[in-house]
């Protein structure tokens, strides 16, 4: 046999051996997840729709006016998330002004996304809706001046989602005369492990946060709800409720948890069970200068501990016989500490570099035992 023939025979033998023995000699290198940089609304819509695990979508700075709802059903994984964020430190606004009536700006029905540092504004309806999502993270998002609730989690099997450092304000539903537009809505669904932290929910026509018809426990912490339910739209039939924290409704019995949070200057109650008879737990919160009760828990079995109510229109707290109340300033022997400041100007200020709530002395007392620390 010639040298050439022997060489060909050897190559053939090695190829057959690799294919049958799984040596991987000829296996292709796995494709790497893409980083996609987009600069138009069409590119953004395409990137969101067609993302795959590990995709990083970077949006160039500017204001985008999509002609249809941005939406995706593409799942990431726990170890290979899909990420949507600005390019570098550029500022990105996604504006719904050109969308058809009744449209949302961004609808996600998917798992394991991380969405960061984007503004969604002027939506005809809700701005951002995450439906039956698992493991999503929303970091330093702003939803502004929409036609219904700013940010919404909804649907069954909504699990392990974190909304961190959300600003949601100026929402008003004209058709409902302000009755439906909340800063943040977790409604009509169920799921465990969901967390709201570091939110500012203010100047919305209905409530700051609304947990209507949500049947699983939810945790809220380090959050402020203020200025909700006031008729800023000159609506002669205005119907906004104006609660800071609406913690139930529609017959659900759920033990939601609210820690180290505050409500002030809302037209309705600062914190209310809203007919939820579950063992809602409120710990170290502050309710100040709301139009109705600081705390309204007249029918359920709430656990109220170390909360502070001052200057609310209807009184400090309306409590039913099943409520457990300890260490609050309406309880016997508990003093009401003085506030360092009642000027809320700094609460509207810029967030810290890490996205957390701005530094403020507003509604702080220096107490280590009662009321929100306001951070």
Rounded Cα gap, residues 170 and 228, in angstroms: 9
Rounded Cα gap, residues 196 and 86, in angstroms: 22
> Are 339 and 373 contacting, i.e. CB atoms less than 8 angstroms apart?
no
Length of the chain: 375
- The CA–CA distances, whole Å, from 320 to 168, 250, 333 equal 32, 19, 20
Provide the token pair at 209: 């946060």
Which letter, b or e, does each residue of 3-33 get, where b requires 16 or more Cβ atoms within 10 Å of its Cβ? eeeeeeeeeeeeeeeeeeeeeeeeeeeeeeb
Rounded Cα gap, residues 209 and 166, in angstroms: 12
Q: Nearest 5 degrees, angle CA 275-CA 278-CA 282?
A: 95
Neighbours of 333 (CB within 10 A): 5
Containing 155, the helix (H) or strand (E) segment is strand 151-155
User: DSSP string of 319-352?
Assistant: E-TT-EEESSTTSTT---PPPSB---GGGGSPPP
Q: Dmax of the chain from CA atoms?
A: 105
Q: At 241, is the secondary structure helix, strand, or coil?
A: coil
Neighbours of 290 (CB within 10 A): 31
Phi/psi of residue 321, each to 5°? Answer: -70, -20
- List the catalytic residue out of 246, 277, 292, 306: 246
Rounded Cα gap, residues 22 and 7, in angstroms: 22
Rounded Cα gap, residues 319 and 326, in angstroms: 12
Determine whether 306 is an active site residue. Answer: no
Closest by CA position to 146, among listed 81, 203, 231, 213: 203
Which residues are catalytic, by number?
Answer: 246
């Amino acid at each position: 046999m010639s040298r050439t023939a022997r060489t060909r025979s050897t190559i053939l033998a090695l190829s057959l051996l690799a294919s049958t023995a799984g040596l991987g000699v000829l296996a292709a290198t796995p494709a790497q997840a893409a980083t996609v940089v987009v600069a138009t609304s069409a590119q953004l819509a395409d990137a969101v729709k067609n993302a795959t695990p590990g995709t990083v979508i970077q949006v160039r700075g500017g204001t985008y006016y999509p002609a249809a709802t941005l939406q995706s059903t593409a799942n990431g994984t726990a170890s290979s998330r899909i990420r949507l964020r600005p390019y570098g430190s550029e500022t990105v606004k996604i504006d719904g002004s050109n969308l058809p009536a009744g449209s949302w700006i961004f609808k996600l029905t998917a798992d394991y996304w991380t969405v960061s540092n984007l503004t969604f504004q002027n939506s005809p309806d809700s701005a951002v809706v995450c439906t039956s999502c698992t493991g999503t993270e929303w970091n330093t998002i702003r939803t502004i001046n929409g036609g219904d609730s700013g940010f919404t989690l909804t649907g069954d099997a909504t699990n392990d989602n974190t909304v961190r450092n959300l600003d949601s304000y100026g929402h008003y539903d004209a058709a409902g005369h302000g009755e439906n537009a909340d800063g943040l809505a977790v409604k009509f669904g169920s799921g465990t492990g969901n967390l709201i932290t570091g939110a500012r929910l203010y100047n919305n026509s209905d409530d700051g946060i609304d947990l209507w018809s949500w049947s699983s426990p939810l945790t809220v912490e380090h959050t402020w709800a203020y200025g909700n339910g006031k008729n800023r739209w000159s609506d002669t039939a205005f119907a906004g409720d104006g609660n800071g924290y609406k913690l139930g409704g529609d017959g659900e019995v759920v033990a939601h948890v609210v820690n180290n949070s505050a409500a002030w200057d809302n037209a309705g109650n600062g914190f209310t069970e809203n007919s939820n008879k579950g063992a809602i737990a409120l710990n170290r919160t502050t309710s100040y200068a709301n139009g109705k009760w600081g705390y309204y828990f007249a029918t359920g079995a709430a656990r109220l501990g170390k909360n502070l109510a001052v200057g609310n229109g209807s009184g400090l707290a309306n409590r039913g016989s099943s409520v457990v109340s300890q260490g609050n300033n309406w309880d016997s022997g508990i003093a009401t500490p003085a506030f360092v400041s009642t000027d809320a100007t700094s609460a509207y200020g810029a967030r810290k570099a890490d996205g957390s709530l701005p530094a403020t002395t507003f509604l702080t007392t220096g107490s280590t035992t009662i009321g929100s620390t306001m951070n």
